[in-house]
Protein backbone atom coordinates (compact mmCIF):
# COMPACT_ATOMS: atom_id res chain seq x y z
CA UNK A 1 0.00 0.00 0.00
CA UNK A 2 1.21 3.50 -0.84
CA UNK A 3 0.10 6.11 1.68
CA UNK A 4 0.70 9.77 0.89
CA UNK A 5 0.92 11.95 3.98
CA UNK A 6 0.33 15.63 3.20
CA UNK A 7 2.42 17.33 5.86
CA UNK A 8 1.09 20.79 4.94
CA UNK A 9 -1.01 22.56 2.34
CA UNK A 10 1.56 25.37 2.20
CA UNK A 11 4.09 25.80 -0.59
CA UNK A 12 6.90 28.32 -1.03
CA UNK A 13 6.59 28.35 -4.81
CA UNK A 14 3.79 29.39 -7.11
CA UNK A 15 4.36 27.31 -10.22
CA UNK A 16 2.50 28.33 -13.34
CA UNK A 17 0.48 25.10 -13.58
CA UNK A 18 -0.37 24.84 -9.90
CA UNK A 19 -0.85 28.17 -8.17
CA UNK A 20 0.96 27.47 -4.90
CA UNK A 21 -0.38 26.96 -1.40
CA UNK A 22 -3.83 25.57 -0.69
CA UNK A 23 -6.11 27.70 1.40
CA UNK A 24 -5.69 26.48 5.00
CA UNK A 25 -9.46 26.02 5.09
CA UNK A 26 -9.11 23.35 2.38
CA UNK A 27 -5.76 21.81 3.31
CA UNK A 28 -4.50 22.97 6.71
CA UNK A 29 -0.90 24.11 6.92
CA UNK A 30 -0.29 22.04 10.04
CA UNK A 31 -1.16 18.43 10.81
CA UNK A 32 -4.28 18.24 12.98
CA UNK A 33 -4.31 14.54 13.89
CA UNK A 34 -1.96 12.86 16.35
CA UNK A 35 0.84 10.44 15.64
CA UNK A 36 -1.05 7.84 17.69
CA UNK A 37 -4.08 8.33 15.37
CA UNK A 38 -1.77 7.67 12.42
CA UNK A 39 -0.13 4.67 14.07
CA UNK A 40 -3.51 3.06 14.76
CA UNK A 41 -4.68 3.79 11.21
CA UNK A 42 -1.63 2.11 9.69
CA UNK A 43 -1.26 -0.68 12.23
CA UNK A 44 -0.58 -4.06 10.58
CA UNK A 45 -0.41 -2.65 7.05
CA UNK A 46 1.77 -4.94 4.95
CA UNK A 47 4.22 -3.67 2.38
CA UNK A 48 3.75 -0.05 3.43
CA UNK A 49 5.29 2.84 1.52
CA UNK A 50 4.86 6.26 3.09
CA UNK A 51 5.24 9.17 0.65
CA UNK A 52 5.49 12.70 2.03
CA UNK A 53 3.62 15.22 -0.08
CA UNK A 54 2.19 18.73 0.21
CA UNK A 55 2.00 21.66 -0.51
CA UNK A 56 5.73 21.49 -0.07
CA UNK A 57 6.24 18.71 2.48
CA UNK A 58 9.56 19.99 3.83
CA UNK A 59 7.88 23.15 5.13
CA UNK A 60 6.69 20.84 7.90
CA UNK A 61 9.88 18.84 8.31
CA UNK A 62 9.18 18.35 12.03
CA UNK A 63 6.19 16.14 11.17
CA UNK A 64 8.26 14.15 8.65
CA UNK A 65 10.95 13.48 11.26
CA UNK A 66 8.35 12.49 13.83
CA UNK A 67 6.77 9.98 11.44
CA UNK A 68 10.11 8.53 10.35
CA UNK A 69 11.26 8.18 13.93
CA UNK A 70 8.10 6.58 15.25
CA UNK A 71 6.24 4.74 12.48
CA UNK A 72 7.80 1.83 10.67
CA UNK A 73 7.27 1.69 6.93
CA UNK A 74 8.89 -0.68 4.46
CA UNK A 75 9.87 2.37 2.41
CA UNK A 76 9.79 6.14 2.63
CA UNK A 77 9.42 8.39 -0.41
CA UNK A 78 9.13 12.17 -0.76
CA UNK A 79 8.00 14.48 -3.56
CA UNK A 80 9.53 17.89 -3.01
CA UNK A 81 10.27 21.10 -4.90
CA UNK A 82 13.86 20.67 -3.73
CA UNK A 83 14.34 24.08 -2.14
CA UNK A 84 14.39 23.01 1.50
CA UNK A 85 16.30 19.73 1.63
CA UNK A 86 18.51 20.94 4.50
CA UNK A 87 15.48 21.03 6.78
CA UNK A 88 15.90 17.28 7.23
CA UNK A 89 19.09 15.85 8.72
CA UNK A 90 21.29 13.52 6.65
CA UNK A 91 20.24 10.48 8.72
CA UNK A 92 16.64 11.01 7.59
CA UNK A 93 17.65 11.34 3.94
CA UNK A 94 19.55 8.07 4.18
CA UNK A 95 16.28 6.35 5.15
CA UNK A 96 14.49 7.26 1.90
CA UNK A 97 14.11 4.70 -0.89
CA UNK A 98 13.19 7.35 -3.46
CA UNK A 99 13.33 11.13 -3.61
CA UNK A 100 11.39 12.92 -6.36
CA UNK A 101 12.67 16.42 -7.09
CA UNK A 102 10.54 18.70 -9.24
CA UNK A 103 12.49 20.04 -12.19
CA UNK A 104 11.11 20.50 -15.68
CA UNK A 105 14.14 20.23 -17.97
CA UNK A 106 16.57 22.91 -19.10
CA UNK A 107 17.08 26.03 -16.94
CA UNK A 108 14.93 28.35 -19.08
CA UNK A 109 11.94 26.02 -18.96
CA UNK A 110 12.21 25.11 -15.27
CA UNK A 111 12.63 28.74 -14.21
CA UNK A 112 9.83 29.92 -16.49
CA UNK A 113 7.39 27.42 -14.96
CA UNK A 114 8.63 27.43 -11.36
CA UNK A 115 10.43 30.73 -10.75
CA UNK A 116 13.85 32.28 -11.26
CA UNK A 117 16.74 30.40 -9.71
CA UNK A 118 14.76 27.20 -9.09
CA UNK A 119 16.73 25.10 -11.60
CA UNK A 120 20.08 25.87 -9.97
CA UNK A 121 18.67 25.42 -6.47
CA UNK A 122 17.24 21.98 -7.31
CA UNK A 123 20.51 20.77 -8.80
CA UNK A 124 22.43 22.03 -5.75
CA UNK A 125 19.99 20.07 -3.58
CA UNK A 126 20.33 16.93 -5.68
CA UNK A 127 24.11 17.01 -5.35
CA UNK A 128 23.89 17.73 -1.61
CA UNK A 129 21.62 14.71 -1.11
CA UNK A 130 24.28 12.47 -2.64
CA UNK A 131 27.02 14.15 -0.57
CA UNK A 132 25.18 13.39 2.66
CA UNK A 133 24.75 9.75 1.73
CA UNK A 134 21.34 9.40 0.13
CA UNK A 135 21.81 6.27 -1.96
CA UNK A 136 18.25 5.58 -3.11
CA UNK A 137 16.52 6.39 -6.36
CA UNK A 138 16.82 10.08 -7.26
CA UNK A 139 14.01 10.93 -9.66
CA UNK A 140 13.57 14.12 -11.66
CA UNK A 141 9.86 14.81 -11.73
CA UNK A 142 8.96 17.01 -14.67
CA UNK A 143 5.80 18.77 -15.64
CA UNK A 144 5.61 18.97 -19.41
CA UNK A 145 3.73 21.95 -20.77
CA UNK A 146 3.68 24.26 -23.77
CA UNK A 147 7.28 25.51 -23.50
CA UNK A 148 8.60 21.97 -23.05
CA UNK A 149 10.45 20.03 -25.69
CA UNK A 150 10.18 16.52 -24.27
CA UNK A 151 13.20 15.19 -26.18
CA UNK A 152 15.48 18.08 -25.24
CA UNK A 153 14.30 18.27 -21.62
CA UNK A 154 14.41 14.55 -20.80
CA UNK A 155 17.81 14.16 -22.49
CA UNK A 156 19.10 17.17 -20.60
CA UNK A 157 18.08 15.80 -17.20
CA UNK A 158 19.37 12.29 -17.94
CA UNK A 159 22.74 13.49 -19.18
CA UNK A 160 23.40 15.65 -16.10
CA UNK A 161 24.42 12.38 -14.39
CA UNK A 162 22.59 13.47 -11.27
CA UNK A 163 19.26 11.66 -11.56
CA UNK A 164 18.70 7.90 -11.73
CA UNK A 165 15.31 8.31 -13.37
CA UNK A 166 13.25 10.95 -15.12
CA UNK A 167 9.47 10.99 -15.04
CA UNK A 168 7.05 13.49 -16.52
CA UNK A 169 3.42 14.40 -16.29
CA UNK A 170 1.58 16.33 -18.97
CA UNK A 171 0.07 19.60 -17.84
CA UNK A 172 -3.39 18.53 -18.96
CA UNK A 173 -5.36 18.14 -15.74
CA UNK A 174 -6.31 21.71 -14.86
CA UNK A 175 -4.46 23.94 -17.23
CA UNK A 176 -6.48 26.04 -19.62
CA UNK A 177 -3.47 28.04 -20.74
CA UNK A 178 -2.57 26.04 -23.82
CA UNK A 179 -2.66 28.22 -26.92
CA UNK A 180 -2.32 25.26 -29.27
CA UNK A 181 -2.25 21.85 -27.59
CA UNK A 182 -2.93 19.94 -30.83
CA UNK A 183 -0.16 21.72 -32.72
CA UNK A 184 2.31 21.19 -29.87
CA UNK A 185 1.43 17.50 -29.63
CA UNK A 186 1.89 16.96 -33.37
CA UNK A 187 4.91 19.17 -33.96
CA UNK A 188 6.82 18.77 -30.71
CA UNK A 189 5.63 16.14 -28.24
CA UNK A 190 5.00 13.07 -30.38
CA UNK A 191 8.05 13.58 -32.64
CA UNK A 192 10.06 14.08 -29.41
CA UNK A 193 8.75 10.78 -28.03
CA UNK A 194 9.77 9.01 -31.26
CA UNK A 195 13.31 10.41 -31.05
CA UNK A 196 13.56 9.52 -27.38
CA UNK A 197 12.45 5.93 -27.99
CA UNK A 198 15.03 5.59 -30.79
CA UNK A 199 17.82 6.91 -28.53
CA UNK A 200 16.66 4.78 -25.61
CA UNK A 201 16.81 1.66 -27.74
CA UNK A 202 20.28 2.51 -29.10
CA UNK A 203 21.48 2.89 -25.52
CA UNK A 204 20.04 -0.50 -24.62
CA UNK A 205 21.89 -2.09 -27.53
CA UNK A 206 25.02 -0.69 -25.89
CA UNK A 207 24.05 -2.34 -22.58
CA UNK A 208 22.70 0.76 -20.82
CA UNK A 209 19.08 1.25 -19.72
CA UNK A 210 18.33 4.99 -19.47
CA UNK A 211 15.90 5.61 -16.63
CA UNK A 212 12.93 6.98 -18.57
CA UNK A 213 10.07 6.09 -16.23
CA UNK A 214 7.07 6.28 -18.62
CA UNK A 215 8.87 4.02 -21.13
CA UNK A 216 9.98 1.53 -18.49
CA UNK A 217 6.50 1.45 -16.95
CA UNK A 218 4.87 0.54 -20.27
CA UNK A 219 7.48 -2.14 -20.98
CA UNK A 220 7.01 -3.55 -17.48
CA UNK A 221 3.25 -3.74 -18.10
CA UNK A 222 3.89 -5.56 -21.39
CA UNK A 223 6.24 -8.06 -19.77
CA UNK A 224 3.98 -8.68 -16.79
CA UNK A 225 0.27 -8.97 -16.17
CA UNK A 226 -0.44 -5.44 -17.42
CA UNK A 227 -0.73 -1.99 -15.93
CA UNK A 228 -2.40 -1.45 -12.60
CA UNK A 229 -5.56 0.66 -13.01
CA UNK A 230 -4.99 3.48 -12.48
CA UNK A 231 -1.20 3.16 -12.76
CA UNK A 232 -0.68 5.39 -9.69
CA UNK A 233 -2.93 3.06 -7.66
CA UNK A 234 -5.21 5.94 -6.57
CA UNK A 235 -8.25 4.61 -4.74
CA UNK A 236 -7.07 1.01 -5.14
CA UNK A 237 -3.64 0.48 -3.58
CA UNK A 238 -2.82 4.09 -2.83
CA UNK A 239 -4.50 6.66 -0.62
CA UNK A 240 -3.63 10.08 0.78
CA UNK A 241 -4.13 11.57 4.21
CA UNK A 242 -4.81 15.31 4.36
CA UNK A 243 -3.36 17.25 7.32
CA UNK A 244 -6.87 17.42 8.78
CA UNK A 245 -7.07 13.60 8.85
CA UNK A 246 -9.33 13.09 5.84
CA UNK A 247 -8.56 10.01 3.77
CA UNK A 248 -8.48 10.79 0.05
CA UNK A 249 -8.26 8.54 -2.99
CA UNK A 250 -5.75 10.86 -4.68
CA UNK A 251 -3.45 13.45 -3.09
CA UNK A 252 -4.58 16.28 -5.35
CA UNK A 253 -8.30 15.56 -5.00
CA UNK A 254 -8.63 17.59 -1.81
CA UNK A 255 -12.10 19.03 -2.51
CA UNK A 256 -13.81 16.39 -4.63
CA UNK A 257 -16.58 14.38 -2.99
CA UNK A 258 -15.85 11.19 -4.96
CA UNK A 259 -12.32 11.12 -3.53
CA UNK A 260 -13.28 11.52 0.13
CA UNK A 261 -13.04 8.04 1.61
CA UNK A 262 -13.23 8.74 5.36
CA UNK A 263 -11.12 9.90 8.30
CA UNK A 264 -8.07 8.29 9.85
CA UNK A 265 -9.52 8.72 13.33
CA UNK A 266 -12.30 6.21 12.73
CA UNK A 267 -11.09 3.92 9.95
CA UNK A 268 -8.20 1.64 9.07
CA UNK A 269 -6.01 1.84 5.98
CA UNK A 270 -6.99 -1.68 4.81
CA UNK A 271 -10.63 -0.61 4.71
CA UNK A 272 -9.85 1.80 1.88
CA UNK A 273 -8.31 -0.71 -0.52
CA UNK A 274 -10.14 -0.97 -3.85
CA UNK A 275 -12.50 1.87 -2.95
CA UNK A 276 -12.75 3.36 -6.46
CA UNK A 277 -12.10 1.96 -9.89
CA UNK A 278 -11.91 3.16 -13.45
CA UNK A 279 -14.67 1.98 -15.80
CA UNK A 280 -15.75 2.84 -19.33
CA UNK A 281 -14.54 3.99 -21.79
CA UNK A 282 -11.20 2.78 -20.44
CA UNK A 283 -12.03 -0.84 -19.66
CA UNK A 284 -13.04 -1.45 -23.31
CA UNK A 285 -10.17 0.60 -24.72
CA UNK A 286 -7.53 -1.32 -26.64
CA UNK A 287 -4.81 0.61 -24.80
CA UNK A 288 -6.15 -0.24 -21.33
CA UNK A 289 -3.67 -3.06 -20.68
CA UNK A 290 -0.83 -0.52 -20.91
CA UNK A 291 -2.57 2.73 -19.99
CA UNK A 292 -4.64 1.53 -17.03
CA UNK A 293 -6.98 4.49 -17.53
CA UNK A 294 -4.13 6.96 -16.95
CA UNK A 295 -5.08 9.35 -14.10
CA UNK A 296 -8.11 8.73 -11.86
CA UNK A 297 -8.49 12.46 -11.20
CA UNK A 298 -8.58 13.30 -14.91
CA UNK A 299 -10.93 10.37 -15.53
CA UNK A 300 -13.37 11.60 -12.88
CA UNK A 301 -13.16 15.33 -13.45
CA UNK A 302 -12.64 15.65 -17.23
CA UNK A 303 -11.90 19.34 -16.83
CA UNK A 304 -11.21 19.61 -20.55
CA UNK A 305 -14.57 17.98 -21.33
CA UNK A 306 -15.09 14.81 -23.36
CA UNK A 307 -13.32 16.26 -26.36
CA UNK A 308 -10.27 17.16 -24.28
CA UNK A 309 -10.27 13.72 -22.65
CA UNK A 310 -10.26 12.14 -26.11
CA UNK A 311 -7.38 14.38 -27.23
CA UNK A 312 -5.22 13.28 -24.33
CA UNK A 313 -6.21 9.65 -25.00
CA UNK A 314 -5.11 10.02 -28.62
CA UNK A 315 -1.62 11.16 -27.69
CA UNK A 316 -1.44 8.56 -24.90
CA UNK A 317 -2.21 5.81 -27.39
CA UNK A 318 0.43 7.05 -29.82
CA UNK A 319 2.94 7.32 -26.97
CA UNK A 320 2.19 3.70 -25.98
CA UNK A 321 2.48 2.48 -29.59
CA UNK A 322 5.87 4.16 -29.93
CA UNK A 323 7.17 2.50 -26.76
CA UNK A 324 5.75 -0.90 -27.70
CA UNK A 325 7.43 -0.70 -31.11
CA UNK A 326 10.69 -1.19 -29.19
CA UNK A 327 9.43 -4.23 -27.31
CA UNK A 328 10.63 -7.03 -29.63
CA UNK A 329 14.17 -5.66 -29.59
CA UNK A 330 14.07 -5.16 -25.82
CA UNK A 331 12.94 -8.77 -25.33
CA UNK A 332 15.80 -9.90 -27.55
CA UNK A 333 18.32 -7.89 -25.52
CA UNK A 334 16.91 -9.31 -22.29
CA UNK A 335 17.18 -12.86 -23.63
CA UNK A 336 20.76 -12.28 -24.73
CA UNK A 337 21.56 -10.88 -21.27
CA UNK A 338 22.71 -7.53 -22.73
CA UNK A 339 20.40 -5.66 -20.32
CA UNK A 340 19.03 -6.81 -16.97
CA UNK A 341 15.43 -7.48 -15.99
CA UNK A 342 16.09 -5.67 -12.74
CA UNK A 343 16.70 -2.39 -14.57
CA UNK A 344 13.90 -2.85 -17.08
CA UNK A 345 11.12 -3.92 -14.70
CA UNK A 346 10.68 -0.48 -13.16
CA UNK A 347 9.42 0.72 -10.79
CA UNK A 348 10.26 -2.06 -8.34
CA UNK A 349 7.42 -0.79 -6.10
CA UNK A 350 4.87 2.00 -6.39
CA UNK A 351 7.23 4.91 -5.75
CA UNK A 352 4.59 7.52 -6.69
CA UNK A 353 5.69 7.92 -10.31
CA UNK A 354 2.37 7.68 -12.15
CA UNK A 355 3.89 5.95 -15.23
CA UNK A 356 1.53 7.25 -17.93
CA UNK A 357 2.24 10.95 -18.60
S1 LIG B 1 -6.23 5.78 -23.64
FE2 LIG B 1 -7.91 6.93 -22.71
S3 LIG B 1 -9.74 5.59 -22.89
FE4 LIG B 1 -7.89 4.33 -23.24
S5 LIG B 1 -7.43 3.46 -21.23
FE6 LIG B 1 -6.19 5.33 -21.46
S7 LIG B 1 -7.41 6.97 -20.53
FE8 LIG B 1 -8.79 5.23 -20.89
S1 LIG C 1 -2.10 10.28 -11.51
FE2 LIG C 1 -4.04 11.35 -11.17
S3 LIG C 1 -5.23 10.03 -9.81
FE4 LIG C 1 -3.12 9.36 -9.73
S5 LIG C 1 -2.26 10.44 -7.94
FE6 LIG C 1 -1.80 11.68 -9.77
S7 LIG C 1 -3.51 13.12 -9.90
FE8 LIG C 1 -4.17 11.50 -8.51
Ligand nearest to the CA of 317: 1
Question: For residue 234, what is the DSSP state?
Answer: B
Atom of ligand 2 nearest to the CA of 356: 1
Alpha-carbon separation of residue 281 from 250, 258, 266, 275 (angstroms):
20, 18, 35, 19
- Residue 177's pLDDT band (cuts 50, 70, 90): low
The whole-angstrom separation of Cα 169 and Cα 214 is: 9
Ligand nearest to the CA of 287: 1
pLDDT, tens only, 111-166: 999 999 999 999 999 999 999 999 999 999 999 999 999 999 999 999 999 999 99
Q: What is the mean pLDDT of residues 273-293?
A: 97
**pLDDT (0 to 100) of residue 16:** 83
Inform me whether the pLDDT recorded for 181 exceeds 80.
Answer: yes
Atom of ligand 1 nearest to the CA of 291: 6
Q: Measured in Å, how far apart are the chain's first and last C-alpha atoms? A: 22
Alpha-carbon separation of residue 308 from 149, 172, 176, 199, 294 (angstroms):
21, 9, 11, 30, 14
**pLDDT (0 to 100) of residue 175:** 65
The whole-angstrom separation of Cα 119 and Cα 186 is: 28
Nearest alpha carbon to residue 33 among 23, 25, 41, 22: 41
Q: Distance from the CA of 260 to the center of ligand 2, in angstroms?
A: 14
Query: Cis peptide before 235, with omega less than 30 degrees from 0?
Result: no
Q: Distance from the CA of 288 to the center of ligand 1, in angstroms?
A: 6
Nearest alpha carbon to residue 297 among 216, 243, 354, 341: 354
Cβ neighbors of 323 (< 8 A, separation 6 or more) are 197, 214, 215, 218, 219
Q: Distance from the CA of 196 to the center of ligand 1, in angstroms?
A: 22
Nearest alpha carbon to residue 30 among 49, 13, 3, 54: 54
Alpha-carbon separation of residue 38 from 68, 71, 159, 180, 243 (angstroms):
12, 9, 40, 45, 11
Protein residue with its CA nearest to atom 3 in ligand 2: 296
Q: Distance from the CA of 296 to the center of ligand 2, in angstroms?
A: 6
Instruction: Please say whether the beta carbons of 53 and 4 come within 8 A.
Output: yes
Mutate to test the pocket of ligand 2, among 77, 282, 296, 309 (most ligand atoms within 8 A of CB): 296
Note the pTM of the prediction, 2 decimals.
0.97
Q: What is the CB < 6 Å shell around ligand 2?
A: 230, 232, 234, 250-252, 295-297, 354
Q: What is the CB < 6 Å shell around ligand 1?
A: 281-282, 285, 287-288, 291, 293-294, 313, 316-317
pLDDT, tens only, 209-243: 999 999 999 999 999 999 999 999 999 999 999 99
Write the burial class of residue 144 (CB in 10 Å: 0-12 exposed, 13-18 middle, 19+ buried). buried
Q: What is the mean pLDDT of residues 326-330?
A: 98
Protein residue with its CA nearest to atom 8 in ligand 2: 250
Q: Are strands 2-6 and 75-80 parallel, antiparallel or unpaired?
A: unpaired
Atom of ligand 2 nearest to the CA of 4: 5
Protein residue with its CA nearest to atom 1 in ligand 2: 295
Q: What is the mean pLDDT of residues 295-317?
A: 93
The vertex-123 CA angle with 122 and 129, nearest 5°, equals 90
Ligand nearest to the CA of 170: 2
Ligand nearest to the CA of 311: 1
- Of the two residues 20 and 223, the one the predictor is more confident about is 223
Mutate to test the pocket of ligand 1, among 170, 217, 282 (most ligand atoms within 8 A of CB): 282
Residues listed for the chain: 357
Percent of the chain with pLDDT over 70: 99
Question: For residue 208, what is the DSSP state?
Answer: -
**pLDDT (0 to 100) of residue 303:** 86
**Helices of type H across the chain:** 35-42, 61-70, 90-93, 107-114, 118-131, 150-158, 181-184, 190-205, 213-223, 288-291, 296-301, 305-324, 327-336, 341-344
Residue 99 has phi, psi (to 5 degrees) of -125, 125
Cβ neighbors of 157 (< 8 A, separation 6 or more) are 103, 105, 140, 142, 163, 166
Protein residue with its CA nearest to atom 8 in ligand 1: 282
Mutate to test the pocket of ligand 2, among 17, 100, 354 (most ligand atoms within 8 A of CB): 354
Q: Distance from the CA of 318 to the center of ligand 1, in angstroms?
A: 11
Nearest alpha carbon to residue 148 among 174, 175, 113: 113
Protein residue with its CA nearest to atom 1 in ligand 1: 313
Query: For residue 216, how many other CB atoms are within 10 A of its CB?
Result: 23
Amino acid sequence: MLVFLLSTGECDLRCSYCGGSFSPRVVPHRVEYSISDLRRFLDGCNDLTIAFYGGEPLLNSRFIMEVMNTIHADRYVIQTNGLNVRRLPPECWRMFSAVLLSIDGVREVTDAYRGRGVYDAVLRSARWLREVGFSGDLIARMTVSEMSDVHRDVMHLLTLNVFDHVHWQLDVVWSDRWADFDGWAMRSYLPGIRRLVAWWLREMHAGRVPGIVPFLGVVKAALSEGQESPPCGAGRTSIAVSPDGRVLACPIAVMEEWAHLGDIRNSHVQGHIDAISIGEPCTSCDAFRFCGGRCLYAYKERLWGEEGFAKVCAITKTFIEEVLSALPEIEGLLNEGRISREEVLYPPFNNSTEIIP
